[in-house]
Structure formats: structure tokens, C-alpha cells
Amino acid sequence: MDTIGIFKGKQKEHNVQALTLLYNNGPLTAWELTAKIARKKYEKQSLHSTLNKRLRDLEKKGYLQRCDKKWHLRFKGIIAVLLIQPKPKIWNEKWKEIFEKKADLIEQYSEPFLKEFGKDKEELHNAFRHLGFCLDDFKEWVNLSNKTKQLMEKGVINFDVIKEETLLGIIIMESMTIEELMNVWNPDPETDQT
């Protein structure tokens, strides 16, 4: 597999450190990241400046998101960390809490659309489970990272430039046939006679 661009060249060390520290510790400020990396007190100011530049660049590329002064890993950032680990290691428990809050928001915002199509929250949960998108399940994340790795090896995706939404769509489309996707929402073919 060709290495992801953010893990090449001069930027590699700081990008790996920033993403891995966030993965292992949960959301952190730039100063908290600096404190965990700096070996000597006099390095902090220079390192903080470099890290800030790296963090902003990783945000532009879709790996991170800044929220209330803390840096959060996005879907693409978590997948990137899992791809560079020799053996997938479970994340900090803080991420599970964050995933649960995001899942609640998704439910809340999707409820009017679900009602419009005659669906409910349970059907949404079942669809996510069937698609392999249970964000609080570490094994599902490992599966997603393995699918991503396979797609990269086949040349289907360029992880450096792909948007998060596109990545999710491609993973879904490459994992299932159209019939299987249709069955996610309509498990009983007789109920789909419109």
C-alpha cells in the first residue's frame, strides 16, 4: 500500500504524533499536544508553532476538526491512525462518548426525514448496523480501515484528497450490491411494492 501523503516527508513526524496523541488521549488543545511531545521546556514555543501549522493543515484535509479550542479526530483521521498502526489498538474511551453524542445528533436531525419515508429510529440503527457503521464498536472501525486499505491498494481511492462523505459512500458501494443496499431499508421485498 502506498503511504498516505500526510505520513510522508518532513511533515510525517508531527502528523503521526498529533493524530496518534489525539487517538490515544481524546480531544486536546494545541498546547496540550505540545506539552505531550516537547522533551525540553525551551522547545515548546517553536514546537507549538509547528504543531499549529500541522493541525490547521490536517483540518483542511479533513482529518481533524477544531471544536471549543480542542482538536477532534474526524472519521478520516481515525481511519488514518488505524492504517498506520501495526496492530489496531483501541482508542481512548472519550471517543466513544463523542460518537454516542454524534449518533444522538444524527438521530435527532434525521427523525423528520425518517418519518417522511415511514421509517423510525430503530430502522436507522438497523441500517447502520447492517452497513457496518456502528461508530461505538471498535471492531467495525477496524473493518472500515481494512476496507479503506483494500480500496487504496486497488487504486479506487486516493486517501489524501478524498472527502469524508465520498469515502463513506465508496466503502458502502464497494461492500454491498445494489440488492443488498435495497434490503437494508426494505428487508421484506413484498413491502416494497409501490
Q: Tens of pLDDT along 77-99?
A: 999 999 999 999 988 888 878 87
Instruction: Tell me what the mean pLDDT of segment 49-63 comes to.
Output: 94
Output the pTM of the full model. Answer: 0.80
**Helix or strand holding residue 112 (H, E):** helix 93-116
Domain assignment present for 155: yes
Domain assignment present for 66: yes
Domain assignment present for 106: yes
Domain assignment present for 192: no
Class of residue 165 by CB neighbours under 10 A (exposed 0-12, middle 13-18, buried 19+): exposed
Whether 118 has a pLDDT exceeding 90, the answer reads: no
Q: Which grid coordinates belong to 28?
A: 486536546
Whether 192 has a pLDDT exceeding 50, the answer reads: no
Domain assignment present for 194: no
Domain assignment present for 169: yes
Provide the domain limits for residue 143.
5-185
Helix (H, G, I), strand (E, B) or coil at 142: helix
Instruction: Tell me what the mean pLDDT of segment 1-26 comes to.
Output: 89
The count of domains in the chain is 1
Could you give the C-alpha distances from 85 to 52, 121, 135, 151, in angstroms and in order?
24, 34, 19, 18
Domain assignment present for 46: yes
Domain assignment present for 190: no
142-148: long-range contacts, CB 8 A cutoff, minimum separation 24: 142/82, 142/88, 144/79, 144/171, 145/79, 145/82, 145/83, 145/88, 147/171, 147/174, 147/175, 148/79, 148/83
* pLDDT tens digits for range 130-155: 666 666 678 888 988 999 999 999 98
